[in-house]
Amino acid sequence: MSGLNPQQREAIHYLDGPLLVLAGAGSGKTRVITQKIAYLIRDCGFQPRSVAAITFTNKAAKEMQERVARLLSRSTAEEAQISTFHALGVRILREEATALGFKPRFSIFDAADSAGIISEVSGTVDKATLRHLQAIISHWKNALVTPEAAARLARNALEARAAHTYLSYEATLKAYQAMDFDDLIGLPVRLFGEFPEIAEKWQNRLRYLLVDEYQDTNACQYQLLKLLTGIGARFTAVGDDDQAIYGWRGADIENLKRLPAEFPGLKVIKLEQNYRSTARILKAANNVIAHNEKLFDKNLWSELGHGDQITVTACKDNEAEAEGVVMKLQAHRFEHRGRFGDYAILYRSNHQARLLETQLRNQKIPYLLSGGQSFFDKAEIKDIVAYLRLLANADDDPAFIRAATTPRRGIGAATLQVLGQYAGERHVSLFDAAFEEGLGHRIQPRQLEPLLVFCRFISRLRQRAGREPAQQVLADLLQAIDYETHLSDHEDERTARTRWGNVCEFTEWLDRKGEEEGKTLIDLTQGIALINLLDKQDSADIDAVQLSTLHAAKGLEYRHVFLVGVEEGILPHRESLDPTKLAEERRLMYVGITRAQRSLHLSYCERRKQARDLIPGEPSRFIAEMGREDIRFSGGKESVAADKATGSARLDALKAMLSGNKR
């Protein structure tokens, strides 16, 4: 454990009760968690399988596991329970499903699957209404509000409709023997509450719990943690109240406040030494966050030197801002002989990326866009993949439901509900249940016939998919379901053409892969889950500028950061000006500042183009809160001449540098 500071060592070794580690940005929290896992297993006699470390993303879980593997061994790291909240929930529910009336092989519905059911039971196809209904139901689920309680809590017509939809939605999920993403946390909470003996079993199985990014937990996750730790309270929670930026999706900073009250013996250890940023950057971050009411006093410091001045640039408009940021980034890179991968451009909202992308493309600068939609996340690709998944595995119930209803073929929600109930009672898949004689006693022949036609079609294709060339089977599949016509019937001409183009691109890719590797469609389908045409796993190895929202950048760091659109109405957002929301916007600014290791560059617009209008802008209040001492301001009327002179001199220097490189 060499190289650890005293606070880190104390956090690792403390086992006398519940522990809260307040880990400031860049203070080495992941190192503390992984070292503590190693300490528990190697020095304290804990079995690897009895130590659970819970985080929020697969990426974070994977990084944690890799670090533990380097400290102990690969097999030990894999045996330790290092996972996301949802993965832990799945593990609990697979084992205990029957107690809640589910089969162990229940289906898990993604957001698109859920939206399809909500559309069906609510009777709406309006996308905006669907998004609202889905968000309200998800919020209720994460707050542990039942459908019955939701009906009582509804404050307006939309919430009343959502409550009614919620009740039908839950019944449909149960009928399908399916759970949605929120259920993976909510149902274990219900399970442990209703069956104390099952809770005790899991408490005995998981002897020590470590929780990463604790400030981002919602009410449901908090209850799950309480139920898992039990009266022994053997846990270490690691978090930072200054980085709580997910209130909009249900995260509750109050969970941090509750800990000392609910666990009187709680020990608090602060990690305040920052290993990421220079003193100037940290001073600006500390100055900003000091304007928030504090749960815990904390002041980051660094031994990495004073560092460069922070720059704040006023820009004429958002087009000028995008052009100026890209030019400044290029100049900085040449001057410092850096890599494109050393740079990140961060912003409050996704729409701000468009102009930046245009400028980067114009300058032929490689970039990566965080949060962009994966090719496999497109609805049309998921539709086709549902058929392929069903061909590869007839027990894949979510794939069955999606394929059976896309395109529509006379199989309605009522039919699927009866099928789901029957399959649940018989403990078989939906596909197998369709062929059982008993189902015929539950539904009318006119309902059964289209279901059987579909299942027989899948059976014929399954037989072919395991032996015939992928190209031929795919072509026949697309022709048989007439997917192109389906798109034309449900989308405008342009959208339909784009989506059909994506389907063609996907099938051509599968064709090539099948031909090159001599694989059948079944072989290819089984590998699809591991293949992503826009795979970002190795993005760290790509020398490219990172474009990202502030929310997506949390937990990451970059040598040089450009933070754009730092103006009133954007950061803070115009809809977040009440005191509670403003505090979260300030934390978002704090997160943005603390992503930077060596240099930080802010910009704002004096006017912002919106459609054909020019909207006057003013610098964000957060810029003033940073303090002026370590900031160099440029732009604006006062400094136009100076900026031009500086720009010309810099351009001359760059030209000289480039000509020198050529020699």
Annotated catalytic, 31? no
Task: List the catalytic residue out of 120, 180, 183, 212.
Answer: 212
Interior/surface letters 315-350, b for 16+ CB within 10 angstroms, e for the rest:
bbbbebbbbbbbebbbbbbeeeebebbbbbbbbbeb
Task: List the catalytic residue out of 30, 358, 498, 526.
Answer: 30
Annotated catalytic, 216? no
Annotated catalytic, 29? yes
CB–CB of 407/586 below 8 Å?
Answer: no
Task: List the catalytic residue out of 213, 240, 323, 383.
Answer: 213
CA-to-CA separations, 242 to 216, 290, 292, 406, 622, in angstroms, rounded: 11, 10, 9, 45, 15
Single-letter amino acid, residue 530: L
The DSSP output letter for 568 is T
Burial category of 426 from C-beta neighbours within 10 Å (exposed 0-12, middle 13-18, buried 19 and up): middle
Task: List the catalytic residue out of 36, 462, 499, 595.
Answer: 595
Annotated catalytic, 257? no
Single-letter amino acid, residue 211: V
Phi, psi of 523 (to 5 degrees): -55, -45
Task: List the catalytic residue out of 172, 243, 549, 594.
Answer: 243
CB–CB of 315/604 below 8 Å?
Answer: yes
Rounded CA gap, 37 and 43, in Å? 10
- The helix (H) or strand (E) run that includes residue 425 is helix 413-426
Indicate the Cα dihedral angle 456, 460, 463, 465, nearest 10°: -120
Phi, psi of 175 (to 5 degrees): -60, -35
Annotated catalytic, 267? no
Rounded CA gap, 49 and 444, in Å? 50
Task: List the catalytic residue out of 7, 8, 29, 584.
Answer: 29
Closest CA to 60 of 189, 180, 212: 212
Rounded CA gap, 564 and 312, in Å? 10
DSSP letter for each residue of 255-318: HHHHHHHH-TT-EEEEE-EESSS-HHHHHHHHHHHTTSPPSS----EESS-S-PPEEEEEESSH
**Longest CA–CA separation in the chain, Å:** 86
CA-to-CA separations, 357 to 317, 321, 553, in angstroms, rounded: 16, 12, 17
CB–CB of 401/535 below 8 Å?
Answer: no
Annotated catalytic, 81? no
Rounded CA gap, 420 and 388, in Å? 21
Interior/surface letters 210-229, b for 16+ CB within 10 angstroms, e for the rest:
bbbbbbbbbbbbbbbbbbbb
Which are the catalytic amino acids? 29-30, 212-213, 243, 595
